[in-house]
Structure 1
Amino acid sequence: MRAREMLAQYRALGTSPAWLRHALPNAVTVLALFVGLTGLTFAAADNIAAAIFCTVFAAILDACDGRVARAAGTSSKFGAELDSLSDVVCFGAVPAFTLYRWGLWEYGGIGWLACLLLAGACALRLARFNVASLDPARPLWMGQFFVGVPAPAGAFLAHVPIFAAYGGLLDGG
């Protein structure tokens, strides 16, 4: 079934119970959270490729949950907050821990501090975004643009050293 057909079927849920229309976007967000947590277990087992795959899959789910909510007309503050909590795990904690297990552990406390800074920066950016969205004095045009690096893009950037190492770009050749 194509994505447009699935979206049309979901829009047709307008006649279904309201809880179902509200539950589906949040279920997608929680699924992304579960995928992120699974990525942590892969990183802990030194399966770096699987941990990165989980981050990529979580990013795909993250791109879908808001679209599903808007298509159903069920966007909510609850969903936005849940999305931010999931993003901190999937695009803050998982990439940080993946980097640590990949090689930053070799640098001891400095490596761990770098990971903490990555996860903390992700959390701070999302908290700032959430608070700014509540500001009634915020110009309307600001809602059309990202402020800072979006969390999934930050996770991708954090993984660049791993991609470079697997691509042979860090071996001096």
Structure 2
Amino acid sequence: MGRGKIEIKRIENSSNRQVTYSKRKNGILKKAKEITVLCDAQVSLIIFAASGKMHDYISPSTTLIDILERYHKTSGKRLWDAKHENLNGEIERLKKENDSMQIELRHLKGEDINSLNYKELMALEDALETGLDKILEEENRELNFLWQQRLAVEGAREVENGFDQSVRDYNSHMPFAFRVQPMQPNLQERI
């Protein structure tokens, strides 16, 4: 007993849609593997889920680049235009720049400096001295700021202590003390 045909349209229920996606994705990946083995075909399959997750399959006997080049030659459609070529060149340039910076960083750490010539060592020394000067200037600024804060706190304490002392001096010279009584009779002290 076979199943009836289903109408091919978007599944509205999200959980049903996810289950169908998973089953059909696994089915198409299985078919791609089977056709590769059974027919000695070169297959490349790329699937992007609605979430953006990618699933792919490429026949073990080839690479994605080989498949794309064959597609380009056979179909005549350009997958890469000049903009992509420029981006590829920019990526290569950035990789070289990154490699150069990694080497420079190793040199600044004192690693792999045996291969440097005299001029490169002098430039490295200048760079280290400049960096050290900047660090010392920053440390000096921070210490100066902390010192200024401490002086301000100590100055405030001195003023406060001076005020307390002047109040004590004033109270010691008073011939009598004032006693404040509460206004409500039930709170007054009984003598």
Q: What is the TM-score with the length of structure 1 in the denominator?
A: 0.20
Structure with larger Rg: 2
Q: What is the TM-score with the length of structure 2 in the denominator?
A: 0.19
Higher helix share: 1
